[in-house]
């Protein structure tokens, strides 16, 4: 007979919390590391992982001590795609009601620079996740693919739209219609990857770049990101207007005064984000 005083028998006891599939580490220099942590499933993007990823980015966006974010999946794999087992019997309404666009919105709209550190596979949703970032640093052994066509579907988290904007119609069509992966170097030549480094140096390189960015005035970094993303889909005249207005706005910041005075004084500036 069970002990009624045992924790699992207490009336109203909290249900077990889901396993942590996303780990967040805040470093002392304004950098945060977000790590996908589902190694038993090659970081497949389960509903739980996506929800935890959304929560992590929402919290980091609101944290003034964080100025740059590094997103990684580990040394062997970034993310091998969606969780197929959770989709195989799904109906259109099931997929609609998952509202993945809401889960991915905190990543898409994160105001802070985000660097993807990619080792191994970035396939399907993994490639789409990397494309949500602002800079992609890939290991020499990394590969990227949108293989959804091979299982009878197509990308659904921006793979058709962000990919064509990154690499152009013809490279995007080749990847989307064949489902075949491209190497890190091929991805760099296409314009999908910012930098290719030896596999063992990916996270180190990403952290080094993140520290450099975190040392910049955060308001200027945020304005640069906002204007670049907004201007991509605007006319050139409209985009240039957005750039001028953002540049003018930054002259109201303390960091602009500090940065220019430090340049004149030949000293290192101290940026406060104000």
**37-86 confidence digits (pLDDT tens):** 999 989 999 989 999 999 999 999 999 999 999 999 989 999 988 777 77
**Token code pair at residue 256:** 């602009």
DSSP 36: E
Residue spans of the domains in the chain: they are 18-214, 218-265
In the chain, the largest separation of any two C-alpha atoms, in whole Å, equals 79
The model carries a pTM of: 0.90
| Of 170, 122, 162, the residue nearest 143 (C-alpha) | 122
- Give the mean pLDDT of 257-267: 95
pLDDT band at 141 (very low <50, low <70, confident <90, very high): very high
CATH for the stretch 18-214:
3.90.226.10
The reported pLDDT for the residue numbered 96 is 83
The reported pLDDT for the residue numbered 90 is 81
pLDDT band at 7 (very low <50, low <70, confident <90, very high): very low
| Of 214, 212, 207, 216, the residue nearest 70 (C-alpha) | 207
pLDDT band at 92 (very low <50, low <70, confident <90, very high): confident
Integer Cα distance of 117 and 81 in angstroms:
16
- Of 9-23, 88-102, 237-251, minimum mean pLDDT range: 9-23
Q: Please indicate whether the domains covering 18-214 and 218-265 agree at the CATH topology level.
A: no
The CATH class, in words, for 218-265 is mainly alpha
The reported pLDDT for the residue numbered 86 is 74
Half-sphere CA count of 67, side-chain side, radius 13 A: 21
The reported pLDDT for the residue numbered 198 is 98
**15-28 confidence digits (pLDDT tens):** 556 689 999 999 98
């Amino acid at each position: 007979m069970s002990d009624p005083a045992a924790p699992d028998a207490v009336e109203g006891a909290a249900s077990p919390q889901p396993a942590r599939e996303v780990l967040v580490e805040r470093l002392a220099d304004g950098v945060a590391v977000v790590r996908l942590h589902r190694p038993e499933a090659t970081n497949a993007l389960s509903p739980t992982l996506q929800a935890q990823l959304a929560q992590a980015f929402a919290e980091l966006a609101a944290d003034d001590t964080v100025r740059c974010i590094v997103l990684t999946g580990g040394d062997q794999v970034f993310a091998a795609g969606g969780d197929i087992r959770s989709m195989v019997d799904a109906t259109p309404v099931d997929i609609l009601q998952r509202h993945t666009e809401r889960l991915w919105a905190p990543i898409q709209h994160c105001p802070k620079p985000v660097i993807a550190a990619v080792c191994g596979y970035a396939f399907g949703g993994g490639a789409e996740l990397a494309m949500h970032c602002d800079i992609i640093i890939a290991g020499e052994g990394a590969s990227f693919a949108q293989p959804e066509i091979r299982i009878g579907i197509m990308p659904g988290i921006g793979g058709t739209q962000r990919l064509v904007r990154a690499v152009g119609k013809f490279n995007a069509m080749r990847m989307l219609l064949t489902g075949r992966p491209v190497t890190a170097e091929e991805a760099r030549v296409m314009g999908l990857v910012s930098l290719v480094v030896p596999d063992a140096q990916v996270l180190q390189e990403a952290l080094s770049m993140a520290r450099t960015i975190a040392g910049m005035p955060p308001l200027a970094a945020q304005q640069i990101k906002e204007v670049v993303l907004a201007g991509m889909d605007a006319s050139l005249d409209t985009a240039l207007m957005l750039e001028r207005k953002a540049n003018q706005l930054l002259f109201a910041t303390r960091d602009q005064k500090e940065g220019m005075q430090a340049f004149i004084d030949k000293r290192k500036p101290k940026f406060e984000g104000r």
